[in-house]
Structures are given as C-alpha cells and as structure tokens.
C-alpha cells in the first residue's frame, strides 16, 4: 500500500504567505510529517522554508524531513538533511541540538531500512559513537540488514546478545521480522519464545512469519493465544486465509472482527478474487464504506485476469471518476493481469492513461507495458515503447523485448537485440539466455544454441538452470536430434519435470519417432498420471506410423486415466469482450453463422489441395 493510500486525512499543500507567521506555518506542516505531505514538491517546499527559517539544524525537524524523503524513496535527500543537521550538532557539542543526535542518526538508519540499503545502514551505524546508540538504533539496524540476507541478521543478533540488548522488546521484534523475511521461521519463533517480555507487535510479527511460510494452522494457533488483539492481529490472520484461498474462512473471521478498516475489507475482496468468486468479491467491494487505491487495483486486476474485460473497463472508469490516482505499483499490477489474460483493450486504455499522466518515465511502467503488448500479440507496439518511450532501460527492459520477439518467432530480431544489449554494457542474466535459446529454437540455429548453452558459465558467470536444459531439449528435438536430446535429459543435474518430457514428446510427434515417444509418455505418466492428453499424442504418433494395434492400446490407456483430454478451445477479444470457442460447444449466440463461415473456409482449403491427415481425424 502506498504511503498516500495508508495515511489519514492529509493536510493541504503548504501556503507560505500571509498570517500566521511563516515560521509558525512551517512548524505546523512539520508536525504533520512524515505522512502529512505525500508529494515530493510539497516536501521540497517545506525543506526550503526550513532552510530559510534556520530550522534545518534542529535534529527533530531534520528527523521529520528525513522520514518524509525516505517514504518518497529520496535517499540522497535524506543524507543531505542528515549531514547538515549533524554538522550543526557537532559544531556545538554542548549546544541545544547535541542531545538529539541519537534521534537524528536513528532516523537515517530507519530511512535506510525503509529503502532496503543494508550496506549504507551498516556504514551509518559504524560512524555512530557508541554512547549515542540505544535499543532503537539496533532495531533499525536489524531491519535494514534483513535486506542483505540471513547472515548479517545473525551477526547483528550475536552482537546484541553480547551487549545484553536482545532482551529489549523492540530489538526482539526486529529480529523476528528479519528472520521471517529471510525465510527462517524457526529462528523467528525461537527469538519469540525466548523473549522475556512481549507486546502485541511481537505476537503479530511471529504470526506474520507463520503466514509467510504458508502455515495457516500455526498462524491461527498464535492468533488464538494473543492476550490482547489489535486490528493488525485480525488483518494478519485474515490475510493468511486469503493467501491460502480459503475465502469462506476469511469471511467468517471478518464477520467476527470487533473493528474493521480498509485493509480488512480489501483482504476479503482479494480472497474471493483469488477463489474466482467475482460475484461475491463485487458484493463486498460495493459494501465497503471507504475504498483506497489498493482496493480498486485488486478489483480491476482480478476482473482483467479473469477475462471480464467490460467489467474491468467499467471499474477503471469509476476509479478515475472517484479521483483515485493510479501509482506505479497499481499500473504494473493491472498491466500484469492484462498480460496474463490477453486483455488488450484494457491494456491500451492503461497505456493512454500513462501517457496522459506522464507516468511513462517510470522504467517499471514501460517494462510492464512492453510485457503486456508482447503477450497480447502486439510485439511491434512493445518495440515502439522500447525504442521511443522508455527513458532509462534496465536488464528487464532488454529481456522483455528480446523474449517478446523470440515468443513471436522472430528469432533474428531477438538475437540482434541481444547483440545490442551486450554492446550497450548490459550483462545478460539467466532470463536473457532463456530468451536467446528460444530464439535459436525458432530459427533452427542448433549450433549457435549449443554454443550459448556450453559457454554460459564462462561468458556470463552462471550455470545453466533446468529452464535452459528445457530450451536445449526443445532446440535439439525440433532439429531432429532426438537421441541427443534424450542424452541431455539423462545428463541433467536435476530430475526432469513434465515440461522437459513434454518438449521431447512434441519433438517425437514432429519427427514421427515412436521409440522415444514411448519413453516420454512413460515418464509423463509418472508425473501426470491423470493427464489423458499425453496418450492422445502417443496415439497420433502410432497412427502416423501405421501401428494401429498400438494406437488402440494407447487409447485404452487414455481412457484408463479416468479423465478426458481437455477439449480444444480458442478465444478472441472483440470490442472489449471475449468470445471463447470450444470443440462441440454451440452456446455462442452467433454459433450458426460462425459454423457456416468455418464450413466455407474448409471448402476453400480443400479446393486449395490441403486435406487433413487420416491420423489427425482418428483422435478426434
């Protein structure tokens, strides 16, 4: 949730002229920080007035200003404010500002923690005189170190144990949270169990650790043991049920909540969206006393993801009418949903909104737009954004556009972009090489693909992962080198998954290789025992090879799985509505006209000399 969305009623933008005195106005706005001025321009105006009034030297004023800049992710500004105030305090060691030096340094540590800068936090901590450090110092340091992995957290833990500060509740809470965020729930629980005194934050933090691990039952046990629950306690367990897809349990708990806030309502809406019950999600959404950006984003994204394009479009319009301003996180979330469902029309509307609001300077937004257009079949639009709209490209930008062209079969363009990426000083990563190998597959460049795969560790500094092996199996298989593809599968340092064996089976179908098709289906039957589609493919391969008795056996085994092969389907988006067509389904209102057109097209195809193979007809 953004700082603006989470804050209470905001003060108006600063006005510096007229009565009361400018100094008093500065102090009033200063008192509202860090949440009272959510826009950078207003904070900068206040900063200018602090300099004018000489208040920038006051550690308390500087601390509030640092907090505001930290929320806005302006770390260099935090450092400048800190340096000016710290210099003033150092110049007068016995002056009025010296007593608040610890507050000032702690606020800078908190800013580093908020922006996930462990190295900067460690340097700031080392620069602090020992006499200035207190328990808040250690709690902020631990929170910052959590972004650096579990090793620095354990080092800080050892340090506070030696100092005796580990018994402090704030330090203990910070350790629980740090271990939890690094996936070490057992250590988080151990710290909690050894705490001599706990507050509601301790209980909530250890419960959140269980939620992160997906241990809903454990989180519920903690919740039931909390002596005095607050709204955060209720929302945390509510979130546990929502993430587990247990919408009904979440709703039952929601009904018993003594007090609800917008987070509580949004969590239940999210739970029903995740379950796929959009009707109930909409009922709860409409009943909400207040909605914020997060709530609107949840609903618009969920509708887009489920293919409810018209509903998503209406909600997006209502959202704008309610004067809810989209931030970068909301735009990225909605675009990701559009990409997943192929909701091109809504994606285009978001693109127009981005241009109107001049949000296209954000690399995150441009990357999300490119990803959406690539996945919705408009790779040329993505290429236009990459060439003309994105201000600052990163590795994700390059990976997205290379992957887009590879996905659409333009391997030549993908490899050309890969060469440009390296020329411009970007280091390819594992995702880049997946896209490059995919491009080689589409172009049939077996030798080039082999070279990229073999030299991956030497040239780019990382070992091939299972996804890279999957690409190579696909490349070799499509190239007719099926025996070599099987050898590669056998040499893998991981157990082959269904994607690997599925790629081999597809290659066997393409090259009519019965022997290795049987091997692939054998392995797939262990991984996907109820998937009838694998036997359907094998049946096709037998039919094409004229092995009719084997084909009949494969079809018997297909029926023995207890499931049917999923009916083929396709869909198209037209006038912001999805039209889905499934084999044998005549529910579409224009089904008769569509069938007539298909028959006419089939007739034209036959006249052109294209007749379906007999084995393809047998499996229908």
**C-beta atoms surrounding 452 within 10 Å:** 25
Name which of 200, 201, 171, 175 is nearest 189 in CA terms.
175
pLDDT of residue 601: 82
Phi first, then psi, for residue 385 (nearest 5°) are -60, -45
* Average of per-residue pLDDT values in the chain: 84
pLDDT of 157: 93
pLDDT, one tens digit per residue, over 483-538 is 999 999 998 888 998 999 999 999 998 888 888 888 888 888 888 887 778 888 88
pLDDT value of position 304 = 86
How confident is the model over 559-576, as a mean pLDDT?
Answer: 59
pLDDT band of residue 3 (cuts 50, 70, 90) is: very low
pLDDT exceeds 70 at position 361: yes
Q: Which of 22-31, 219-228, 308-317, 411-420 has the lowest mean pLDDT?
A: 22-31
Q: At what angle do helices 533-544 and 514-527 cross, to 10 degrees?
A: 170
Q: In angstroms, how far is CA 367 from the centroid of its own chain?
A: 13
- Determine contact, residues 147/117, Cβ cutoff 8 Å: yes
Among residues of the chain, what percentage have pLDDT more than 90?
44
Residue 616 has pLDDT above 80, yes or no: no
Does 8 have pLDDT greater than 50?
A: no
Mean pLDDT for the stretch of residues 82-105:
73
Which residue did the predictor score with more confidence, 606 or 227?
227
**Angstrom distance (rounded) from CA 217 to CA 523:** 35
State how far the Cα of 179 lies from the Cα of 187, in Å rounded to an integer.
6
Q: In the structure encoding, which two tokens stand for residue 350, read together?
A: 């978001």
Q: Tell me how far apart the alpha carbons of residues 616 and 225 are, in angstroms, rounded to a whole number.
A: 62
Mean pLDDT in residue range 61-85: 89
Give the pLDDT band (50/70/90) at residue 22: low
Nearest CA to 97 out of 86, 105, 83 is that of 86
Model confidence at 185, pLDDT cuts 50, 70, 90, reads confident
Angle at CA of residue 348, ends 345 and 352, nearest 5°: 140
d(CA 504, CA 496): 11
Widest distance between CA atoms in the chain: 99
pLDDT at 552: 82
The residue to which tokens 């018994």 are assigned = 167
Q: Which position has the higher pLDDT, 159 or 534?
A: 159
Average pLDDT over residues 215-243: 93
Residue 1 predicted with pLDDT over 50: no
pLDDT band, residue 296 (cuts 50/70/90)? very high
User: pLDDT (tens digit, 9 = 90+) per residue, 437-496?
Assistant: 999 998 889 999 999 999 998 888 889 999 999 999 999 999 999 999 999 999 888 899
Q: How confident is the model at residue 549 (pLDDT cuts 50, 70, 90)?
A: confident
pLDDT (tens digit per residue) in 251-274 = 999 999 999 999 999 999 999 999
> pLDDT band for position 88 (50/70/90)?
confident
Domain boundaries, the chain: 1-115, 529-618
Per-residue confidence (pLDDT) for residue 207, from 0 to 100 = 94
Find the angle CA(437)-CA(483)-CA(509) to the nearest 5 degrees: 80
Query: How confident is the model over 1-19, as a mean pLDDT?
Result: 45
CA gap 515, 206 in Å, rounded: 54
**Nearest in space to 434 (alpha carbons), one of 464, 398, 476, 395:** 464
106-133 mean pLDDT: 91
> Is the model's pLDDT at 617 over the cut of 80?
no
Whether residue 34 has a cis bond before it, omega within 30° of 0: yes
What pLDDT, on a 0 to 100 scale, did the predictor assign at position 167? 87
CA R_g for the chain = 30
Query: Region 546-563: what's the mean pLDDT?
Result: 76
């Amino acid at each position: 949730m953004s700082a603006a969305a989470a804050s209470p009623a905001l003060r108006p933008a600063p006005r510096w002229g007229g009565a009361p005195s400018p100094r008093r106005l500065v102090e009033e706005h200063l008192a509202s920080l860090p949440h009272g001025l959510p826009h950078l321009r207003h904070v900068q105006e206040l900063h200018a007035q602090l300099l004018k009034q000489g208040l920038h030297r006051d550690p308390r004023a500087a601390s509030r200003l640092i907090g505001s800049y930290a929320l806005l992710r302006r770390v260099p500004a935090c450092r400048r404010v800190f340096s000016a105030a710290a210099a003033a305090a150092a110049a007068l060691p016995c002056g009025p500002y010296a007593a608040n030096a610890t507050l000032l340094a702690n606020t800078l540590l908190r800013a580093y923690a908020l922006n996930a800068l462990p190295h900067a936090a460690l340097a700031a901590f080392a620069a602090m005189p020992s006499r200035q450090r207190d328990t808040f110092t250690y709690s902020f340091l631990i929170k910052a170190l959590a972004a650096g992995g579990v090793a620095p957290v354990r080092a800080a833990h050892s340090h506070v144990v030696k100092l005796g500060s580990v018994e402090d509740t704030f330090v203990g809470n910070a350790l629980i949270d740090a271990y939890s965020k690094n996936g070490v729930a057992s250590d988080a629980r151990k710290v909690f169990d050894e705490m001599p005194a706990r507050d509601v934050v301790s209980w909530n933090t250890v419960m959140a650790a269980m939620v992160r691990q997906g241990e809903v039952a454990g989180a519920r046990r903690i919740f039931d043991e909390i002596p005095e629950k607050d709204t955060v306690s209720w929302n945390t367990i509510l979130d546990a049920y929502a993430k587990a897809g247990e919408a009904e349990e979440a709703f039952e708990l929601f009904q018993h909540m003594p007090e609800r806030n917008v987070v509580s309502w949004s969590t239940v809406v999210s739970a029903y969206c995740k379950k796929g019950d959009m009707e109930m999600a909409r009922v709860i959404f409409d009943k909400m006393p207040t909605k914020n950006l997060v709530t609107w984003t949840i609903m618009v994204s969920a509708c887009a993801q489920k293919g409810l394009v018209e509903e998503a479009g209406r909600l997006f319009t209502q959202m704008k009418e309610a004067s809810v301003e989209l931030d970068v996180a909301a735009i990225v979330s909605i675009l990701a949903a559009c990409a997943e469902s192929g909701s091109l029309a809504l994606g285009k509307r978001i693109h127009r909104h981005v241009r109107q609001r001049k949000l296209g300077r954000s690399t995150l937004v441009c990357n999300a737009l490119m990803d959406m257009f690539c996945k919705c079949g408009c790779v040329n639009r993505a290429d236009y954004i990459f060439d003309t709209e994105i201000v600052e490209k990163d590795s994700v930008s390059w990976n997205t556009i290379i992957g887009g062209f590879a996905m659409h079969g333009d391997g030549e363009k993908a490899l050309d972009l890969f060469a440009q990426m390296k020329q411009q000083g970007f280091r390819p990563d594992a995702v880049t090489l997946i896209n490059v190998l995919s491009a080689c597959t589409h172009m049939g460049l077996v030798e080039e693909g082999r070279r990229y795969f073999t030299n991956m560790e030497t040239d780019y500094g990382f070992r091939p992962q299972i996804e890279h092996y999957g690409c190579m199996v696909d490349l070799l298989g499509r190239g007719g080198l099926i025996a070599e593809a099987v050898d590669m599968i056998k040499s893998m340092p991981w157990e082959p998954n269904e994607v690997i064996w599925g790629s081999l089976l597809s290659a066997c179908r393409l090259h009519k290789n019965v022997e290795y098709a049987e091997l692939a289906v054998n392995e797939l039957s262990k991984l996907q025992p109820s998937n009838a589609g694998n036997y359907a493919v094998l049946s096709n391969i037998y039919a094409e090879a004229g092995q009719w008795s084997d084909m009949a056996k494969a079809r018997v085994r297909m029926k023995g799985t207890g499931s049917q092969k999923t009916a083929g389907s396709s869909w198209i988006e037209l006038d912001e509505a999805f039209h889905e067509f499934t084999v044998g389904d005549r529910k579409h209102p224009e089904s008769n006209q569509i069938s007539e057109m298909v028959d006419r097209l089939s007739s034209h195809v036959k006249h052109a000399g294209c007749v379906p193979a007999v084995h393809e007809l047998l499996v229908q």
